[in-house]
Homo-oligomer: A and B are copies of this chain.
Amino acid sequence: WARAVRGLLLDVSGVLYDSGADGGVPIAGSAEAVRRIKASGLKLQLCTNETQATREDFVRKLRALGFDVSVAEVTAPAPAACRLLKERGLRPHLLVHDDLIPEFAEVDKTNPNCVVLGDAAENFTYANLNEAFRLLIGMEKPVLISLGKGRYYKETDGLKLDVGAYMKALEYACDVQAEVVGKPAKTFFESALAELGVPPEQAIMIGDDIVSDVGGAQQCGMRALQVRTGKYRPSDENHPEVKPDAYVNNLAEAVDIILQHL
Q: Which A residues form the contact surface with B (CB < 8 A)?
A: 121-122, 124-126, 129-130, 133-134, 137, 151-152, 158-162, 164-166, 168-175
Are A175's CB and B151's CB within 8 A? yes
Q: In this complex, what residue of B is CB-closest to A170?
A: B165
Contact of A173 among B126, B152, B170 (CB under 8 A): B152
Q: In this complex, what residue of B is CB-closest to A132?
A: B161
Are B169's CB and A173's CB within 8 A? no
Distance of A166 Cα from B133 Cα, bound (Å): 12
Are A165's CB and B173's CB within 8 A? yes
Number of copies: 2
Q: List 14 A-B contacts (CB under 8 A).
A: A122-B126, A124-B126, A129-B161, A130-B160, A134-B158, A137-B152, A152-B173, A161-B169, A164-B172, A165-B169, A165-B173, A168-B169, A168-B171, A169-B169
Is chain A's binding surface mostly helix, strand, loop or mixed?
helix
**Beyond A162-B173, A165-B172, A168-B171, 4 extra complex contacts between A and B, CB < 8 Å:** A125-B125, A125-B126, A130-B159, A168-B172
Are B173's CB and A151's CB within 8 A? yes
For A158, list chain B residues within 8 Å (CB).
130, 134
Contact of A161 among B122, B133, B159, B160 (CB under 8 A): B133
Q: In this complex, what residue of B is CB-closest to A138?
A: B159
For A133, list chain B residues within 8 Å (CB).
152, 159, 161, 165
Q: When A122-B126, A133-B152 are in contact, do A166 and B169 touch as well, CB less than 8 Å?
A: yes
Q: In this complex, what residue of B is CB-closest to A233?
A: B137
For A170, list chain B residues within 8 Å (CB).
165
The 5 closest A-B pairs by CB, nearest first: A165-B169, A168-B172, A169-B169, A165-B173, A168-B168
For A134, list chain B residues within 8 Å (CB).
158-159
Distance of A44 Cα from B231 Cα, bound (Å): 52
Closest chain B CB from A231 CB (angstroms): 10
Distance of A261 Cα from B173 Cα, bound (Å): 38
Closest chain B CB from A75 CB (angstroms): 25
Distance of A137 Cα from B166 Cα, bound (Å): 17
